[in-house]
Amino acid sequence: MPCRVKPVLAGYIEASIGIAGAVISFLIDPDDFKLKYAISLAVVPILVIGFSSYLVIPIFVFSIISGTYLYTKKFYYPFVFLFAFTLLSYIFFGDGSQWMAIDAAISTGMIVVMIFDSRERQYVKANEITRGEDRIKEVRRDYVQIAAGIIIIGLLYFYGVDISRILVTFGSLLLYAIGNFFSARPDLMIGKFLQNLERSHTKLGIGSMWFASGILLAYSMHDGLYLIMLIVFIISIGDSIATIVGVNVKSPKLFINRKKSVAGTLSLFAVSAAFGFLLIGFLGIDYAALGSIVEAVSGYPLDDNMTVPFAISLMASIVRML
């Protein structure tokens, strides 16, 4: 009996802290949080039941609050709680199954903010509108994204899913804070360098937030090494190659998305299918095809860095049940 009381009590404490954070933030800024918390009433029960964990509540709530206050000084207060909960979770749970719940809570919290927060949604829209306007900057961004993909795939290959998941989670949170800090300090050398990677009239790190959300979402939905490798490859390396080819090779635009070209989409499928076949066999080609289609149709307010991992993970879940 005592062994069961502690986990139950800990769960109640975790849930209480998350609920308290939500209530306090709502009382302070009701207009900023009422819609997001209304959406959360549907999201949080799914996370709690799906992962059998109350830990998702405070992490999800503080992800919502941090995202809402992004690019302001208020950001750091909820972010400290978010980082602290994540760090304590590592200390107490290590690389266990609880970490999938943590990744799910962080990624879904970020996604809710970027879709349902009016201010963040404008930043996302500006990022989408200016996509492809500056070819040199787009290619430069893609080289950075390819490097990020190679690093994550390398972590997966050398350290496995559990350890790489933890490293990527903490890396995402640190980038989250770095983006917030340097967005307010473009006068600093690092701030100027990072801003030069962003599209015009776009807040620093908006694209990176979508990318991080997609990676964490993939980690939270599956623990298969090769599947996560393939998802990371598609949204980092494959997507970047598609952009590089798309801006340098003349070809018709896709009728379903005028921002993307036939050459870019075909190149995305070709390299992703080859990589997928090496990892998984013919099923990897199917995942690459789905990822290419979803990437082609994705657009504001949703981002392909989120829709592609979700679609492939959902397909993989269905395949696993068959």
Cα angle 105-57-113, degrees, rounded to a multiple of 5: 50
How far apart (Å, rounded) are the C-alpha atoms in residues 85 and 314?
28
pLDDT score recorded for residue 321: 85
Report residue 220 as tokens. Answer: 């939270």
CB atoms under 10 Å from CB of 239, counted, come to 26
pLDDT tens digits for range 77-121:
999 999 998 998 888 766 566 889 999 999 999 999 999 998 888
Which residues, at least 6 apart from 52, have a Cβ–Cβ distance to it below 8 Å?
A: none
pTM of the shown model: 0.89
pLDDT score recorded for residue 255: 76
Q: Are 128 and 300 in contact (CB under 8 A)?
A: yes
Average pLDDT, the chain: 87
Cα angle 207-220-216, degrees, rounded to a multiple of 5: 20
How far apart (Å, rounded) are the C-alpha atoms in residues 257 and 293?
11
More confident residue, 297 or 286: 286
pLDDT confidence band for 266 (50 / 70 / 90): very high
